[in-house]
Structure formats: C-alpha cells, structure tokens
Amino acid sequence: MLNIAKRFLANELFASATGYARRNVRLRQIQHSAVWCKRRKTAEEKNAIEFAPKKKNKPQMSGVVDIWRNMTVSELARSCQLELEHIQEVMLYVKGIGSIESQARLEDPRVIKEIASKCGFKTKIVAAPAVEEEVQKDRDVVPRPPPAPENLKDRPPVVTVMGHVDHGKTTLLDSLRGASVAAGEAGGITQHIGAFTVELDNGEKVTFLDTPGHAAFSAMRARGAYLTDIIVLVVAAEDGVMEQTKEVLRLAKEQSVPIIVAINKIDKPGANIERVKKELAQYGLAIEGYGGDTIAVGVSALHGTNLDELTEAVSTQATLMGLKGEYEGPVEGVVVESKVDSHRGKLSTAIVSRGTLRKGAVLVSGQAWAKVRGLFDHAGQPVMSVTPGMPVEILGWRELPVAGEQILEVDSEKMAHSVLRWRANQAMVEKALTDAEAINQKRKEHEDQYKAEREKARLSGYYRRKQQGPRAKESVSDDGTPRVNVIVKGDVHGSVEAILDVLDTYDDNERCRLDVIHYAVGDVNESDVELARLFDALIYAFSVNVPKKPVPEVSIRPTNIIYRLVDDLKKEINAKLPLVDVEEEVGEANVLQLFDINEGRRKVTVLGCRCTKGLLKKSHKYKIRRNGELLAEGLSLESMRHLKNEVDSIKKDVECGLRLMDQSIELKVGDTIVCYQINKQPQETEWDPGF
C-alpha cells in the first residue's frame, strides 16, 4: 500500500510539474507576443512618422472634393485645398502614375480617387471647368512701323484707270496689254475691278486697276482711288466732262493722288480736245498750257494712237514720285476683289504693298483668314512669290474677305484664330455701343407711351382700365402693303455690294416694300431656293451659275448687267402696286333752263340742257361746275329724256332733260354738267436709281 501511495503521489507531482511548466511556456509565449506586437507597433509608428508627408499646416482631412478626367496635379491640389508638395508626396505611394509634375495630367479617375482617398477625402466626379484664360490672351495684329530707308527698293506703280461710262477705259487697257477684255464684259461695261500687270516697252512694269465706270459702282471706284499711286482719267473727246468724271476729280483731290488725263476718241467726228481741257480747268484740274502741270494726252484706244506718249507719261510720273517698297518681313496688302469659284473655292484678288507673299503664308483680312494654297497672276498662271506693287489671286481663304480690307500676315494658324476672336469680340462691342442710342430712344418712346396709357386709365376710372375688345396682337395683322422680297447672289463681293447700294436708293416703301432677305457671293444653291420658296422671293443671279433644272414655285432671274436687273425689279414692283382710280371726262352739257314739276306730292327740278362736248350717259357719274369752280361731284341721274322718250345717252349738240337723284343741290342757268367715269389704271413706281 505504501508503494502504491508513493507511486500515486509521484504521478501527481509530475502532472503538477508538467502543467506548471506548460503554463509557464504559454505565459512566456503570450509575453513574447505582446512584446513583439509592441515593438511592431512602435516600428510602424516610427516609419509613419519618418515617411509621412511633411506639412507646414496640417489640413482638415474631411469632406468631398470635385475631381474630373485629365485634371492636372496642380488642379487636384487646388480642389483638395492642399499644398502641391503634399499631393506629390502622396502620389509616390500610388501605383500607375508616370509623372508628379504640377502640369502632368491624371487620365484615370480611379488613380485620382485613390490619391484623394489617401489624403482623407471622398470624391465626386464633375465636368471639367470652362477655360476662360484663352479669351484674355487674344489680341489683334496691326501693320508694322514704317521701314528703314535702307530696306526700301524700287517697286512698280499702281495705276488706276477711271472715267465716265463708255468713255473707253477698258478698251484703253486692252490696247495696253494686248488682250480683249471688253468683249468678255456684259454690254461692254466693266462689272468689277480687274488688276493686272503690264510690261512697258522700256522694260518697266506697271500694275493697272480697271475700275467700273457705271454710276452704281461708285464705292468700288472709291476703293480704286485708295489703292492707286497714279490715276489715268479717261475723258471722251466728244462728250467732255461728265458726272463720273467730276467724281474722279473729287476722289483724287481727297486722296492727294496725281492725275494723268487721257483724252480718248480723238479720231471721232465732233472731237474737241481744247474744249475738254477748258472744262477740266474749270473744275480745278490744272492742265499743261492752262496754268498747270497735269499731263493731258490725246489718244485713240481703239486704234492705238498716241499710246506710247501715255505710257511714257505714266513712267515719267512714277519716276518723279520715287515709289519704294520693302521686300522683307511679314506681308501687307489690300483686297481688291473677292469671289467664290465653283471649282477652286474662295478667291481674292489683292495687291501686295509690303513684304513678299509666298505659298503657305497665313493671312488675316478683316474677319477672314487664309492659309495660302496657291498664287496666280492675272492670266491664271501659278507664281511662286509676289513682291510689292504686284497683283495676285490668292487661293485658300476659309471665309470670303471683304473688298477694300487690309491683308496682314501672321505667324501661325493659332495666331490667326486668336486675331479673329479678338476682332469678332471688338465688332460685337462696337455694335453694342452703336445700337445703345437707338435702344435708349426706343425705351424712352415705350416709357412715354406707357405713362400716357397709365394716366389715361387712371382718369377713366378703375372699371374702365380693363382691356376693351380684342388685344392688339390678336387683331392687328399685316398692314396689307405690297411686298417684293429679293435674294441677291453675285460673282464677286464688289458686284453684290454695288447691287445692294442701288437697292438702298429705293424709297417708295409706302406703296410697295422692297426687302432683301439674303445676299451672298457664289452660285445659287439649294438653301437659296428653299429660302426663296419660304419668303416668296425672287432670286437675282448676277453672273453666277443657276440650277439646270427649273425649280417649281421659285423664280430665278439670271442677269449680268445691273440696269437690266433694276428694270426687271421695277416691273415686279409695278405689278404689285394696286390699281388706282383715274377720272375720265366723257362729255359736258350746259343748263339752259330749269323746270319745276310735281311728281305725286313731291316737287322735283328737271334741267333743260344741251350737250356741248362728247357724250352724256345715264349710267355714269356727274359733277357740277359754276364759273370754273366745282360745286358738287359724284352725282347720279334718275332720268334722262330726249323729247318725251327715256334714253341712255345723249350725243353732242342734242338737247335733253336731266333729273338728278339728289334734289338738294340748287342749280342755276349757265351751270356746266360734266359726265365722267372712273377707270382702273396700273401704277408705276417713281424709283430712280440714277442711271
């Protein structure tokens, strides 16, 4: 038993010792784990302190920030209201970022969201804000300062041929350049400005401008005077000084441009050169031999007489003027004419005044710009470069430039767009300032009308202030005035401008309105047809192509002479005018005696008359004259008798008895009774455009 007890006690002690040892091991494991966790936590805190972004001012890590695709690092910093360095340091711990520069763009919204999340923000995806800085950077381009004298070289003169219609300007230029231009002009009238270069016998080159002589093209002639160095004034020897001749003298005086007079048609009967010189002297042009130094040459453009003297005079005048130009630097020039070619697009004829124009140059003119794709001379041949004083046809305009506008070269297309934005903005500002006065005037009129109506309503009483009857917009419709709507399409800008100037002279809007609903340069297209169908308008196609197939319900009138266009438009206006009442006297009769008779209980007066002129008809109207003065009119007959018979008409020198329906008129012996009728006759417009 003792052994058993010892053995049991030994087992118990061993078990206790083993359990104690196990408990100690577990305790040591727990303590070791706690120490390890503490050390790990301490290490993490140390690392967090060492590698955390260093902030000057600790931001508030809360709230929602706006993000968008392709935002820059600096934009993200502004959206989070954090320092740029803070965002850049956080980006070091984000995968998929190529660059942390301030202007680097973050294309993936998930990356942006992760950066903001590490900064303690929630995100909201919004649209990118509009950029307003580009508008502020837009600026205009202006001509360069005057060139230094050492940079100037000789340039060809620009000579403009001017004069009255049909005095031989185009024929003179034909003889100078050996080509027939007048044969290609409609009716022999130059419809737009032509610019070309002529090489004289002495080897010198001269740029000629052929301006229209028609009265309707005065604005184009004014542009020709602005562009020119010398004016050749063509005056017909048999006609002398005419209206357009006086206008040229005025333009030359305003622009201070020297004049050379070409007295044309000296071979015609009735030519009087001395009379022409005297007339020019009377209008202030000092001619050689009449107290001045202006050269006057008698020529015959048709037969080429004395053309050598004229070209020598032009060359001498150009030499005396010492014309110079700068061949280097950005190009400057002036648009002479612009048009739309159905095959090549938008074209402009220009004269270069400074620099050398080459293919590929970027040009701006007004609110149009071009990247030059081609340069052509007056014969249509391509050229590589154009120097000052030379004309050129420019291909590559994105918009059609306005004739007379200045051309300036810019560095790039981006610069051209910037200039156009600036000019468009300035044009809007100027228009707003121009319209301000009219707007204020309309506002004042409306305010005065409102005050007058309010005062009237106040005086009328409360219950009378309500609207009586239909409102004005419900009852007032078209005033019924006839209307002619017009669409103008022309070959070049100058022709369209001249036609609009002619239409502006129309002032008979009280009887028939003339409205131009659309005008443009180019061929007649589908949009023009639809517009004409919508407004019931006439389409005048001035020297442009029209649809080959007839268009139903639309009238397209091709024309190439402006006065024929005006004549056709007059016929349309006359057709719209209503018929007018025209009084036609048919006959007269003298009152010889008055008879008072009783008809029942009514006493009536019968006039004993004799027809002295024409014919009297019972159905017509009558009026009474006494001593040449009108006593009554619009009277009707109740009875007309010859002897005892009731008749419908009385011939001349036949006596008759007349009884008026209106018995209130007291007639006397010797009064004159006039028989008349009202006829409907068409009206004609009094519009006179001046030619």
Residues 677 and 593 in one domain: yes
Residues 568 and 603 in one domain: no
Residues 595 and 644 in one domain: yes
Residues 637 and 586 in one domain: yes
Greatest Cα-to-Cα distance within the chain, rounded to the nearest angstrom: 193
| Successive 10-residue mean pLDDT values, the chain, 691 residues | 49 48 50 47 48 44 80 90 90 82 84 90 84 59 88 88 76 68 49 68 79 51 68 85 82 83 84 84 81 83 81 85 88 88 86 91 93 88 90 91 88 91 90 85 88 77 48 48 91 84 85 90 91 93 89 90 89 90 93 88 90 93 92 92 91 93 90 93 85 59
pLDDT of amino acid 531 = 93
The token duo for 628 is 């040449």
Residues 309 and 222 in one domain: yes
Cα 183 from chain centroid (whole Å): 32
First-to-last CA distance in the chain? 158
d(CA 79, CA 57): 17
Residue type, 73: V
Residue 132 domain-assigned? Answer: no
d(CA 232, CA 160): 6
pLDDT of amino acid 284 = 81
Name 334's bridge partners.
351, 406
Residue 295 domain-assigned? Answer: yes
Residue 4 domain-assigned? Answer: no
The token duo for 466 is 């309500």
d(CA 154, CA 260): 21
Residues 189 and 294 in one domain: yes
Residue 269, domain extent: 152-326
d(CA 420, CA 426): 10
Name 410's bridge partners.
362
Residues 542 and 587 in one domain: no
Q: What is the CATH number of the domain that holds 510?
A: 3.40.50.10050
Q: What are phi and psi of 131, to 5 degrees?
A: -90, 120
pLDDT of amino acid 51 = 45
Q: Considering 555, 576, 597, which residue would you say is the last residue of a domain?
A: 576
Residues 228 and 296 in one domain: yes
pLDDT of amino acid 131 = 57
Q: Structure pTM?
A: 0.58
pLDDT of amino acid 552 = 86
